[in-house]
């Protein structure tokens, strides 16, 4: 029996009429994405069409999911909203705060000691507000959601950019900041700019060494890290139907790496099989009753160029394995070209670690295919040349894989089995002997930004499929091509690895003794949530100060960031995760990874009050203490990567009023708006070069801040000369209200008092 089955029944009951209304309003056949969006309008049946990429629309998501690192700030905000319980089904998943070091048993035990205060806080808040709680060790949020909560045609939001993984079961699942989650849990509409639509037609069928991961690795190479911004990617065609549900999930998961709002697939037999295998036959039966509504209309897929803003076609018969990286997930290299590319660029060829897992590739199918390569190594008398680590995606996957002998195969090849958690994927990895040396690792994760996995800026991390990770770890060489190359075994013989084989679903079915789920108290009113005043890990929030209605003047430049500036650069994860519930403490990592355009150094900026150079957070605190506002200037796709709203809350807390960039990643721009900041873009990108290190900055017409009207900002240079820069914005009337109130949460609280 599925969780929240009554909610799913209610969604499906209104689906046909909602889609009929949408088809009438739009006046043409509908994509799957449009069907789900129009069927989840806050105001009910559609009465008009929305303009893609322009119209702001209020939606009513079906559920909310939060992981432990981001849930802390989301729930600290929700506690201020004045609501007795979450208005929609919501869950918390403890997967980020478990450090990978020795192995599953020791690492889990150590995490319960190190982060027990945070886990207890999340458990008590979940109990109080009717939120489902998944204990540490239960699994990675997105795999657990796919196994338990995702359903075709549904809409969900989650406080993690890889919430999009649920598109593998035909959802529109979108990563957001915690403030957006608060809106939905508080029973309010959730706003999103109506997305553009990118169609990806898949033909043929995967074969040999290729896997679903290679589809998205190739798409990332085509669209780049910003090519999907503001768009939903919808996959269709015979090739899409041939993929497993977890394979679809892998593709949707990494859609976050192209900036996509989300990605999705139409309902088909693979989803039916997965729902039944995960004890949700009731959902499959309901979906089958309306299955014609749970995929795009036939006319759309027959003539996709008429219905999508962009169409890409990939023939799976011709696809080869890809290895993407280093330092960015869109640098796509087919395995046949990797040796040549690596030698040309001087990338280290010796691979020190091969890592399988993360929310992207930790399903039973992933482990079974990789274990088939590991078994071949054992049978052919090969040893791994690289160290080898495995993170199962959930306790259900782990228990079943252990029962079926898959984990034993990895262990026979000297692999370390880590906890069912994110681990190295998010920098939660205490890598033995790690320093700043130049080295190479390969993994099946989704991101490979500098420092992300192990904190070492010189670790060249490459993204590939689990089976390719296994093959490369056995060879120990980045240029190894298992399709053509041989290996020398312990007897001196030349042997070749055969293509991987695996099981879409376990033949004996899934099994688990304790899946790690804890239901909330039936009546949480008496539950007391305690936060110690002297806690280093948790801190109750103080409301941000509302805007005074005047122009911001006398502001100083905190940093002009050069090049790629992701949320990892703005608010690092890894060891900083321990402060995700303490805004003051975690603000000490604010922008420490961003490259200063004036000296090409990290965490070294000029304090204009003293003329000295120092850390970014300390400089921001000095401006704040002196009552001097500050601004941040950035490059293209600023805020790429994770949904972590800390990357917006920290600058806000430290007195930054404005982030002015060439372009934003979607989630980060929204997070800035939610926290009462100005997220602006250069009307003329060349004006980025006019910003000087010693500038004093004055807004000339912020007191006339209105929808659709650019702002004029004066940059007064040290020599007394001035440049007036025009800044565009995308704020609508409601979002300007957030800015005026000091944050969206402040506005919620005001409206609650009135209500």
Tell me the catalytic residues: 95-96, 160, 447, 642, 644
Beta bridge partners of 67: 93
Q: Omega of the bond prior to 131 within 30 degrees of 0, cis?
A: no
Rounded to an integer, what distance in angstroms lies between the CA atom of residue 582 and that of residue 658? Answer: 22
Rounded to an integer, what distance in angstroms lies between the CA atom of residue 15 and that of residue 21? Answer: 10
Strand locations in 49-141 (E): 56-59, 63-67, 90-93, 132-134
Which residues fall within 8 angstroms of residue 482, CB to CB, at 6 or more apart?
209, 335, 468, 471, 475, 496, 497
- The pair of three-digit structure tokens given for residue 496, joined into one six-digit string: 């070749």
Rounded to an integer, what distance in angstroms lies between the CA atom of residue 145 and that of residue 253? Answer: 12
With residue 339 as reference, give the H or E element that holds it.
Answer: helix 335-345
- How crowded is residue 382: how many other Cβ atoms within 10 Å of its Cβ? 20
Which residues fall within 8 angstroms of residue 86, CB to CB, at 6 or more apart?
64, 78, 129, 130, 131, 185
- How crowded is residue 620: how many other Cβ atoms within 10 Å of its Cβ? 27
Rounded to an integer, what distance in angstroms lies between the CA atom of residue 329 and that of residue 745? Answer: 34
Rounded to the nearest 10°, the torsion over CA 249, 255, 257, 260 is: -150
Q: Are strands 132-134 and 517-518 parallel, antiparallel or unpaired?
A: antiparallel
Dihedrals phi, psi of 171, to nearest 5 degrees: -95, 165
Which residues fall within 8 angstroms of residue 508, CB to CB, at 6 or more apart?
400, 403, 404
Which residues fall within 8 angstroms of residue 105, CB to CB, at 6 or more apart?
none
């Amino acid at each position: 029996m599925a969780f929240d089955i009554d909610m799913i029944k209610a969604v499906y009951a209104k689906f046909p009429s909602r889609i009929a209304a949408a088809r009438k309003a739009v006046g043409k056949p509908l994509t799957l994405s449009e069907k789900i969006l129009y069927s989840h309008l806050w105001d009910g049946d559609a009465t008009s069409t929305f303009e893609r990429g322009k119209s702001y629309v209020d939606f009513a998501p079906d559920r909310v999911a939060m992981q432990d690192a981001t849930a802390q700030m989301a729930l600290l905000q929700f506690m201020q909203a004045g609501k007795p319980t979450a208005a929609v089904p919501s869950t918390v998943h403890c997967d980020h705060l478990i450090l990978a070091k020795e192995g599953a048993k020791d690492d889990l035990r150590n995490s319960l000691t190190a982060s027990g205060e945070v886990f207890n806080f999340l458990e008590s808040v979940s109990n109080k507000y009717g939120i489902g709680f998944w204990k540490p060790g239960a699994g990675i949020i997105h795999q657990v959601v796919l196994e338990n909560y995702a359903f075709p045609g549904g809409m969900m939001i989650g406080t993690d950019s890889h919430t999009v993984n649920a598109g593998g079961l035909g959802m529109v699942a979108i990563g957001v900041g915690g403030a957006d989650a608060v809106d939905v849990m508080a029973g309010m509409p959730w706003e999103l700019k109506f997305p553009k639509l990118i169609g990806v037609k898949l033909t043929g069928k995967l074969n040999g060494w290729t896997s679903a991961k290679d589809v998205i690795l190739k798409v990332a190479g085509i669209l780049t890290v910003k090519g999907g911004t503001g768009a939903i990617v919808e996959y269709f065609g015979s090739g899409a139907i041939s993929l497993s549900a977890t394979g679809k999930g892998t593709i949707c998961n990494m859609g976050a790496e192209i900036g996509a709002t989300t990605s999705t697939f139409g309902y088909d037999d693979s989803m039916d099989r997965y729902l039944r295998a995960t004890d949700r036959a009731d959902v499959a039966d309901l979906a089958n009753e309306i299955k014609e509504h749970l995929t795009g209309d036939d006319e759309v897929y027959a003539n996709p160029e008429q219905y999508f803003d962009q169409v890409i076609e990939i023939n799976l018969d011709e696809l080869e394995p890809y290895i993407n990286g280093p330092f960015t997930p869109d640098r796509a290299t087919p395995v046949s070209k990797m040796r040549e590319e690596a030698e040309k660029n001087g990338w280290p060829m010796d691979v020190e670690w091969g890592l399988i897992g993360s929310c992207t590739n930790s399903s039973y199918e992933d482990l079974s295919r990789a274990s088939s390569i590991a078994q071949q190594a054992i049978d052919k008398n090969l040893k791994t040349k690289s160290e080898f680590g495995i993170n199962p995606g959930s306790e259900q996957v782990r228990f079943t894989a252990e029962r079926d002998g898959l984990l034993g195969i990895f262990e026979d090849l000297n692999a370390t089995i880590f906890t069912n958690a994110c681990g190295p994927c998010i920098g939660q990895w205490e890598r033995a002997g790690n320093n700043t040396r130049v080295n190479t690792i390969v993994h099946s994760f989704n991101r490979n930004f500098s420092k992300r996995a192990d904190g070492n800026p010189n670790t060249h991390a490459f993204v590939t499929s689990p089976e390719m990770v296994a093959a490369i770890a056995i060879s120990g060489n980045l240029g190894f091509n298992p399709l053509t190359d041989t290996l020398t075994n312990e007897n001196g013989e030349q042997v070749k690895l055969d293509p991987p084989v695996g099981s879409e679903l376990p033949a004996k079915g899934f099994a688990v003794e304790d899946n790690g789920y804890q239901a909330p108290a039936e009546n949480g009113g008496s539950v007391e949530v305690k936060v110690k005043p002297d806690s280093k890990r948790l801190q109750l929030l103080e409301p941000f100060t509302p805007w005074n209605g005047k122009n911001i003047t006398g502001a100083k430049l905190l940093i002009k960031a050069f090049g790629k500036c992701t949320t990892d650069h703005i608010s690092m994860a890894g060891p900083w995760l321990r402060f995700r519930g303490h805004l003051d403490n975690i603000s000490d990592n604010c922008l420490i990874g961003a490259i200063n355009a004036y000296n090409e150094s990290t965490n070294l900026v000029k304090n204009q009050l003293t003329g000295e150079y120092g850390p970014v957070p300390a400089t921001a605190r000095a401006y704040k203490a002196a009552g001097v506002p500050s601004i941040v200037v950035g490059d293209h796709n600023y805020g790429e990567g994770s949904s972590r709203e800390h990357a917006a809350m920290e600058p806000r807390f430290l007195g930054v009023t404005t982030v002015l960039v060439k372009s934003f990643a979607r989630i980060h721009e929204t997070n800035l708006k939610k926290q009462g900041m100005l997220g602006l873009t250069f009307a003329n990108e060349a004006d980025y070069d006019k910003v000087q290190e010693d500038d004093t900055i004055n807004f000339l017409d912020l007191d006339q801040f209105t929808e659709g009207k650019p702002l004029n900002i004066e940059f007064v240079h040290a020599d007394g000369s001035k440049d007036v820069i025009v800044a565009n914005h995308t704020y609508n009337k409601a979002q300007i209200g957030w800015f005026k109130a000091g944050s969206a949460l402040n506005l919620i609280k005001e409206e609650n008092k009135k209500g």
